[in-house]
């Protein structure tokens, strides 16, 4: 069913890497959500009125909020698809994150209102009427929501949309909450237990819990969360696959909305190689990312000495010493400046943020190791953090050794 809808109602499918096709997939998901949720809400409102069940009515309100959420999601996709302009040179992609945040806040507000209504029902219980009609409506709702969860999850993963994946999680949660309401209705029919208010409160609590999780997920990319480790690893692996690239460091990934990532990094290349050829390699890497993956990557050419045995020995030595202090440490940009009384060994030390307070201690330890290795070595170390939450890839970690072998 999902593939049928996508192939018949999305022009250009399956070229989902095309921004326009991606936007059409998001629009279709929003329209499907609006239609399904409005039908479910109408059916549950009718069942709630006929039976007097606050739990069924609460679930109807939840479906109505889901329809509103789908409208906001639809608007978010439409606004995010607008092209870049002079005032927004990076595009409008973050509108999708804002629409997800708006949906999350709506879910929290509705959950709070449902909790209030359910508590009132517990304090002042009223008899409810149950029947086969309400059972069938709730069962149908579970089936529809189960399909919606699968549909949104498939489309969300297909176009890499966190908003649609959150919508899928919300539909999955609806399956659970509606199942709770169905259980309450069956218990009422079988044993006469009026658990309506309690089940309504449980549904409200579940909505609040889910909504809070969605709020956190929506805020994270707006605040600048750590980029996807797979994306970081992919950028590193592709860059390192080109001949002449010995290592990478200082990678930064900026997220301006789904499918709108910008990255910058330093590529280490042999200083003895032809400069024009090295720059041509960098141009080819940047062109590949832009044309094949729609990813804007800016690469800084970083020449390193590979034909000096002492520099290679120092690079390998300090990389090993850093790993002894903490396996998460790495070095880059090592160069040596000889003088009349000593040789400056200059390099950057990359460390996790939780080790920032230990930076002076770590630098001192490396200086002591240098004195033991060669009394003429004087370290000039700059401590810095990674902006990717990971040290790019295993290949990047091996860059020091690779450079030393050249």
Query: How much is the pTM?
Result: 0.70
**Paired strand residues for 254:** 262
Task: Give the pLDDT of residue 364.
Answer: 94
Task: Give the pLDDT of residue 113.
Answer: 81
2-223 to CATH, choices 3.40.50.1970, 3.40.50.300, 1.20.1510.10, 3.60.21.10 = 1.20.1510.10
SS3 341: coil
The domains spanning 2-223 and 229-405 adopt the same CATH topology: no
Residues near 387 by beta carbon (within 8 Å), at least 6 away in sequence: 250, 251, 252, 253
Task: Give the pLDDT of residue 405.
Answer: 53
229-405 to CATH, choices 3.40.309.10, 3.30.40.10, 3.30.70.1350, 3.30.450.20 = 3.30.70.1350
Q: How far is CA 272 from the centre of its chain?
A: 40
Task: Give the pLDDT of residue 327.
Answer: 92
Beta strands (DSSP E) in 28-146 are none
Task: Give the pLDDT of residue 391.
Answer: 46
Characterize 127-155 residue by residue with b for buried, 16 or more Cβ atoms within 10 angstroms of its Cβ, and e for exposed.
ebebeeebeebbeebbebbebbbebbbbb
Task: Give the pLDDT of residue 130.
Answer: 60
Q: How far is CA 81 from the centre of its chain?
A: 19
* Annotated domain spans of the chain: 2-223, 229-405
Going residue by residue through the chain (406 aa), what tens digit of pLDDT does each one get? 888 888 888 888 888 777 788 888 888 988 999 999 898 888 878 877 777 766 677 667 777 777 877 888 788 888 887 888 888 888 888 888 887 788 788 778 878 887 888 888 788 876 655 667 677 877 888 899 899 999 999 998 888 787 787 788 778 877 877 787 778 778 777 777 777 788 778 878 887 887 888 888 888 888 888 888 888 999 999 999 999 999 899 899 998 887 788 999 999 999 889 999 999 999 999 999 998 888 899 999 999 888 888 898 999 999 999 999 999 999 998 989 998 899 999 999 999 989 999 999 999 999 999 999 999 999 999 999 888 865 443 444 454 455 445 5
For tokens 């889910």, the residue is: 210
């Amino acid at each position: 069913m999902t593939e049928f809808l996508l192939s018949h109602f999305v022009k250009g499918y399956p070229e989902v890497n095309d921004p326009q096709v991606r936007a059409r997939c998001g629009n279709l998901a929003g329209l499907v959500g609006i239609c399904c949720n409005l039908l479910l809400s109408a059916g549950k409102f009718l069942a709630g009125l006929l039976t007097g069940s606050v739990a069924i009515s609460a679930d109807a309100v939840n479906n109505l909020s889901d329809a509103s959420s789908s409208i906001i999601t639809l608007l978010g996709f439409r606004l995010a698809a607008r092209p870049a302009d002079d005032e927004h040179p990076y595009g409008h992609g973050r509108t999708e994150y804002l629409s997800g945040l708006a949906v999350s806040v709506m879910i929290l507000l509705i959950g709070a209102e449902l909790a209030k209504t359910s508590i009132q029902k517990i304090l002042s219980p009223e008899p409810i009427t149950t029947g086969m009609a309400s059972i069938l409506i709730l069962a149908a709702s579970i089936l529809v929501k189960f399909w919606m969860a699968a549909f949104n999850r498939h489309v969300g993963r297909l176009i890499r949309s966190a908003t649609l994946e959150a919508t899928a999680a919300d539909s999955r949660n609806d399956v659970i909450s509606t199942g709770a309401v169905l259980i309450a209705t069956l218990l009422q029919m079988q044993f006469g237990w009026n658990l309506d208010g309690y089940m309504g409160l449980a549904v409200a609590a579940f909505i609040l819990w889910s909504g809070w999780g969605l709020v956190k997920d929506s805020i994270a990319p707006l605040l600048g969360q750590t980029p996807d480790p797979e994306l970081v690893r992919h950028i590193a692996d592709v860059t390192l696959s080109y001949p002449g690239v010995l290592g990478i460091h200082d990678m930064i990934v900026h997220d301006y909305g789904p499918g709108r990532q910008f990255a910058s990094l330093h590529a280490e290349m042999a200083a003895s190689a032809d400069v024009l050829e090295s720059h041509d390699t960098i141009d080819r890497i940047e062109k590949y990312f832009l044309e094949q993956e729609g990813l804007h990557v800016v690469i800084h050419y970083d020449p390193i000495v590979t034909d000096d045995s002492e520099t290679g020995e120092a690079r390998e030595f300090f990389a090993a010493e850093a790993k002894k202090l903490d396996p998460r440490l790495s070095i880059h940009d090592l160069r040596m400046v000889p003088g009349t009384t000593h040789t400056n060994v200059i390099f950057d030390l990359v460390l996790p943020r939780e080790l920032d307070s230990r930076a002076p201690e770590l630098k001192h330890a490396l200086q002591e190791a240098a004195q033991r290795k060669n009394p003429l070595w004087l370290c000039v170390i700059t401590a810095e953090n990674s902006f990717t939450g990971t040290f790019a890839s295993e290949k990047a970690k091996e860059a020091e050794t690779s450079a030393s072998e050249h």
